[in-house]
Structure 1
């Protein structure tokens, strides 16, 4: 769906994106993570031909971009950074202008498509108020409505839940899941690890312009070779498993063991009550922190 080779972008002496080989497959729910200033937004803008690459190639749906962008863009719904709008006009009027200006829009179906998009993002009840009176969350929903106007094959979103409250975040996540189940490939950049972990099936991590990780989420969160054991008999369990227990906090033990079922049998055989037992997995936060070097918005004394 999206393939890049050696994709690079310089702004003067600043290397914003450094030789990125992106691989987004049809049907993916792909999350691009990275600290502020890591190059995520510049990469997204290059995919949409809003910024041209200094070097490297981009293919979207098998077409070279930007050379064939006019064939690809009508199939893409996108929202980059803060959604733009004419503040003195209503949300519906903004969407009508956006639809008329873009490729692939049809005038006959415009009103129906705008109504449907607004309903899907939770704005079906908006009145004629100008966009400048909208909250940040409403502006974000309006930007998403614009991305959905033409039933996109590919959805490219930059920080889609920015400004939304927890319920709004859940609604947008459910909407993206619904769209993906219907065949839309979703590519989103975000710094919200929890949202990516809940929604995405495949993850890329940017750091200082480079793509340092790209893999399926299940692979990145593979078992660590340790078992988490919850037991009210923690002290006795610790004694029974002496040498294998790496840590204990309250009733929870972290045990060095490869087989949860075999460990459970050992504990039960030793008359130890087991309230819960499961393989320990790495969190996405641990994966990202191991792969990235620093936060770009820190300013430390030298």
Structure 2
């Protein structure tokens, strides 16, 4: 599959501090890639290097097949980005801000500018935007406007750094739906976040950054695949051990983990022996458990907001 973002041995040092330490990112066409890490783990520094905003100390960056930052003039018009919060002219309206951004970029048609601005404002939930200056917007409205700016050129690649910052739960849900819709239309999404629940519901692949190092990179479905065990919920956990002697892997309160990948078979054995069963499911690790295992104790700063 075509690589959309590729880094090799990417390093950024600030004095003695290695903010990014030799990472090899692999983001493929069609991915919704979740770039996870605690605050201060190096995510934003990495994103800025991808976009040519910061030069790496060592290593290589390829974006849409072009070597950055040399290929920036050719590549960046095909990329939409929202990094470290949107920057706007506070005294102007949101619509006026988007007009300036569009006029400043290469390849934008003046004839279709108004229609394109209307379209992206509608996409991000600001279709009824008025003439208020941006300085009067809430943080969530500013975040939506920043995303609208990233969408103006119908990009092949969206690079987003904490795009749901400042949004309420309804706003997060709306932006998630929008990103999934864009992805279905062919846009590759690279999403930097410290919110595990956001990534778990949205992304197809994940990379985990811990203190500047990429400690995990894989398909989300593979990382959270069934473990080969079944979880039984029952008020009679002690009786499960007696019926399924040798298959019980662990007991925690009313939850019993049993070796086996056929919940129906486990249920039949227990019910046949008169053991009450209130719930059955294949055991799967959560993304939180995967991240904690990969990144260790520092991952407790990555939020599992649900």
Match of 1:100 in 2: 103
> Which residue does 2:174 correspond to in 1?
171
Match of 2:84 in 1: 81
Q: Mean alpha-carbon deviation: is it higher for 286-295 or for 72-81?
A: 286-295
Q: Distance in 1 between matches of 2:212 and 2:154?
A: 31
Deviation at 1:45, TM superposition (A): 0.6
SS at match of 1:92: helix
Q: 1:218 maps to what in 2?
A: 221
Quote the offset at 1:258 in angstroms. 4.4
Instruction: Give the alignment of 1:279-290 within 5 angstroms.
Output: 279-290=282-293
Partners in 2 of 1:297 and 1:226 — Cα distance? 26
**127, 140, 149: which is aligned to 1:124?**
127
Considering only aligned residues, what root-mean-square deviation do their CA atoms show, in Å? 1.9
Deviations 1:116-142 (A, max 9, x none): 100000001111111111101001000
- Relative to structure 2, which stretch is displaced further, 152-161 or 233-242? 233-242
Structure 1 position 232, deviation (Å)? 5.2
Conserved? CA contact 2:37–2:299, under 8 Å: no
| Cα deviation, residue 273, structure 1 | 4.2
Unaligned runs of 5+ in 2: 302-306
- Give the secondary structure class of the aligned counterpart of 1:229: strand
1:45 and 2:48 are equivalent in the alignment: yes
1:174-214, Cα deviation, whole Å (9 max, x unpaired): 00000000100010000000010000010000011111100
Which residue of the partner structure matches residue 253 of structure 2? 249
Unaligned runs of 5+ in 1: none
Matches of residues 1-302 of structure 1 in structure 2 within 5 Å? 1-231=4-234, 233-245=236-248, 246-250=250-254, 252-295=255-298
8 Å CA contact retained: 2:208, 2:215: yes
Task: Tell me the distance in 1 between the aligned counterparts of 2:13 and 2:104.
Answer: 30
Q: Aligned to 1:292, what secondary structure does the other structure show?
A: helix
8 Å contact from structure 1 (residues 33, 203) kept in 2: yes
Aligned position for 2:304: none
- 1:18–1:209 contact (8 Å) kept in structure 2: yes
TM-score (norm: length of structure 1): 0.93
For the residue of structure 2 that corresponds to 1:212, the secondary structure is strand
Aligned partners of 2:276, 2:5: CA distance in 1, in Å?
51
- What's the CA shift string for 1:248-270, capped at 9, x where partnerless? 423x3222334434323322332
